[in-house]
């Protein structure tokens, strides 16, 4: 009898473990965006205040704009921005000017940020040569998981978990420091060394002069390597070191080299790491995943966005992408105007919210009652953090009642009797 119970327990445990892993990779949003490289830099398309422009993806440091970008991208120069920490490019010698808030920033259909601060750069001919308006840091991805595949020239943005093809055990913790970026470990001869992940800097490991002098006593010297100043076409040859037994996460890095870079104020893990495999940066849970390109096949389904099917008379779950496409695209910075042909009700809820869970059956009844007159939606607040953040949805449940051609009427709390009055008097009048 004990053996039967033990086997049943082990089976149940295995089911829970595998089920937990499967559940963890069920993302509410997956978007694959191609990018190009120019002079080795990752170039992504972004929409700033409704204007489309190209930017260098520089995950470390701050956002920065060329002077001419202020007018082209409709930056409000009357509204100065501030950084909560690191008031300059802490580890990059970059001349900068005033700080402004960028307004609405979007990459693809699902990644959105509002009022991110950005430095204005002094005259930077190299950035103009690249044909970009500036650089974007990792700040725009802070509620997502960013996966970079340099071999296939694609970034994948998911919420709330990593893509399923990134192996769960190929991960490490990292520290996320505002104004600095992802600080992650690279192991040399079994010893973890913390470096800033920098998708701008050439090479694998770029050391400040002080760090290079410290490492110089531990590792064999290599040949001189060329390094460049940040954002400028200034280069020179510098000393290098050969790093033995180098590992990043669980991937061995062959022929690892560290180069002294006098232009840096802090040592970095450069973009050459992207030549060794796919990297996923989980900003939400502060985990970094890294694995060789062909370790796991990438499912075609992960590159497709699932269409949301709306049923009249039902309480329909929707995503931020659906909201942008069918209700209101707030990335363009216009006043909220709903242009649908029927009024709608949106219920922001969460599984941990007791009143939310008790309200859901009542909302389903209302959806059936007003079938053909009002469309009912629900938004999982845990999965759609960007959407909730934009509309300052903090207390749950929060409901939006939106008339045709109008703005949301917002109610907080589970009071279905009040909802009927709003629907009758303000949505169907």
The domain that holds 363 is classified in CATH as 3.40.30.10
> Does pLDDT of 383 surpass 90?
no
Any domain includes 99 = yes
Any domain includes 419 = yes
Q: What is the average pLDDT across 66-75?
A: 94
Any domain includes 58 = yes
Looking at residue 14, what is its pLDDT? 39
Q: 299-314: per-residue pLDDT in tens?
A: 887 765 456 779 999 9
Tell me: do 332 and 396 sit in the same domain: yes
Tell me: do 401 and 289 sit in the same domain: no
Any domain includes 12 = no
d(CA 277, CA 102) in angstroms, rounded, equals 33
pTM of the model: 0.72
The domain that holds 39 is classified in CATH as 2.40.70.10
> Does pLDDT of 209 surpass 60?
yes
Tell me: do 80 and 155 sit in the same domain: yes
Catalytic (active site) residue 353: yes
Looking at residue 175, what is its pLDDT? 95
Looking at residue 23, what is its pLDDT? 41
Tell me: do 35 and 181 sit in the same domain: yes
Looking at residue 319, what is its pLDDT? 84
Any domain includes 192 = yes
* Domain count within the chain: 2
**Closest listed residue to residue 186, CA positions, set 178, 174, 176, 200:** 174
**Closest listed residue to residue 390, CA positions, set 222, 65, 129, 143:** 143
d(CA 180, CA 174) in angstroms, rounded, equals 12
Any domain includes 230 = no
d(CA 97, CA 134) in angstroms, rounded, equals 13
Tell me: do 192 and 322 sit in the same domain: no
Any domain includes 57 = yes
d(CA 341, CA 420) in angstroms, rounded, equals 20
* Full DSSP string of 157-175: EEESS--TTS-TTSEEE-E
Tell me: do 122 and 33 sit in the same domain: yes
Tell me: do 276 and 414 sit in the same domain: no
**Closest listed residue to residue 89, CA positions, set 180, 21, 208:** 180
Boundary of a domain, candidates 302, 330, 357: 302
d(CA 406, CA 392) in angstroms, rounded, equals 19
Looking at residue 8, what is its pLDDT? 41
Q: What is the average pLDDT across 18-38?
A: 70
Active-site choice (11, 16, 356, 388): 356
Q: Which residue has the higher pLDDT, 9 or 200?
A: 200
Tell me: do 142 and 170 sit in the same domain: yes
Q: What angle do CA 31, 147, 49 make, to 5 degrees?
A: 55
Chain mean pLDDT for the chain: 87
d(CA 127, CA 411) in angstroms, rounded, equals 47
> Does pLDDT of 79 surpass 90?
no
Distant-in-sequence, close-in-space partners of 398: CB < 8 Å, separation ≥ 6: 348, 410, 411, 412
d(CA 45, CA 64) in angstroms, rounded, equals 15
Q: 346-375: per-residue pLDDT in tens?
A: 999 999 999 999 999 999 999 999 999 999
Tell me: do 353 and 280 sit in the same domain: no
Tell me: do 286 and 142 sit in the same domain: yes
CB-based burial of residue 12 (10 Å sphere; 0-12 exposed, 13-18 middle, 19+ buried)? exposed
Boundary of a domain, candidates 250, 277, 302: 302
Any domain includes 3 = no
> Does pLDDT of 21 surpass 50?
no
Q: What is the average pLDDT across 22-39?
A: 78
Q: 80-108: per-residue pLDDT in tens?
A: 887 766 555 544 667 788 899 998 898 98
Looking at residue 358, what is its pLDDT? 94
d(CA 371, CA 312) in angstroms, rounded, equals 6
- Residue 6: CB atoms within 10 A of its CB come to 10
Q: 316-344: per-residue pLDDT in tens?
A: 999 887 898 899 988 776 788 898 899 99
Tell me: do 384 and 283 sit in the same domain: no
Residue 69, domain extent:
19-200+266-302
Tell me: do 64 and 30 sit in the same domain: yes
CB-based burial of residue 342 (10 Å sphere; 0-12 exposed, 13-18 middle, 19+ buried)? middle
Boundary of a domain, candidates 281, 302, 323: 302
Cis peptide before 397 (omega within 30 of 0): yes
Q: What angle do CA 242, 248, 254 make, to 5 degrees?
A: 40
The CA-to-CA distance between both ends of the chain, in Å, stands at 68
């Amino acid at each position: 009898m004990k053996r039967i119970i033990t086997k049943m327990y082990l089976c149940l445990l295995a089911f829970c473990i595998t089920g937990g892993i499967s559940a963890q990779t069920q993302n509410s949003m997956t978007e694959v965006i191609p990018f190009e490289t120019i002079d080795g830099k990752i170039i992504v398309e972004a929409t700033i205040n409704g204007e489309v422009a190209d930017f260098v993806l520089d995950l470390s440091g701050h956002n920065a704009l060329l002077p001419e970008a202020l007018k082209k991208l409709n930056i409000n120069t009357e509204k100065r921005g501030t950084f909560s920490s690191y008031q300059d490019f802490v580890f990059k010698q970059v001349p900068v000017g005033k700080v402004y808030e960028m307004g609405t920033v979007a990459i693809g259909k699902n990644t959105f940020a509002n009022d991110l601060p950005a430095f204005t750069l002094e005259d930077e001919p190299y950035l103009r040569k690249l044909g970009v308006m500036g650089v974007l840091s990792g700040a725009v991805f802070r509620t997502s998981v960013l996966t970079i595949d340099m071999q296939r020239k694609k970034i994948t943005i998911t919420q709330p978990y990593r893509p399923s093809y990134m192996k769960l055990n190929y991960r490490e913790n990292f520290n996320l420091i505002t104004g600095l970026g992802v600080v992650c470990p690279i192991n040399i001869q079994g010893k973890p060394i913390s470096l800033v992940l920098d998708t701008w800097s050439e090479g694998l490991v770029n050391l400040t002069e002080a760090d290079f002098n410290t490492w110089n006593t531990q590792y064999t010297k290599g040949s001189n390597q060329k390094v460049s100043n940040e954002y400028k076409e200034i280069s020179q040859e510098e000393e290098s070191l050969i790093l033995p037994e180098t590992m990043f996460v669980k991937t061995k890095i062959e022929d690892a080299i560290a180069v002294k870079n006098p232009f840096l104020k802090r040592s970095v893990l450069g973009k050459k790491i992207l030549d060794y495999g796919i990297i996923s940066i989980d900003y939400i849970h502060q985990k970094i995943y890294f694995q060789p390109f062909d370790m796991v096949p990438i499912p075609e389904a992960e590159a497709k966005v699932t269409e949301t099917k709306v049923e009249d008379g039902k309480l329909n779950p929707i995503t931020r992408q659906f909201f942008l496409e069918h209700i209101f695209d707030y990335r363009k910075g216009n006043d909220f105007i709903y242009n649908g042909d029927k009024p709608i009700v949106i219920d922001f809820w969460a599984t941990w919210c007791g009143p939310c869970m008790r309200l859901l059956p009542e909302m389903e009844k209302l959806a059936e009652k007003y079938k053909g007159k009002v469309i009912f939606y629900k938004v999982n607040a845990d999965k759609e953090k960007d959407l909730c953040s934009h509309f300052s949805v903090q207390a749950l449940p929060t409901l939006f009642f939106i008339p045709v051609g109008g703005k949301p009427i917002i109610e907080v709390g589970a009071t279905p009797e009040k909802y009927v009055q709003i629907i009758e008097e303000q949505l169907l009048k």
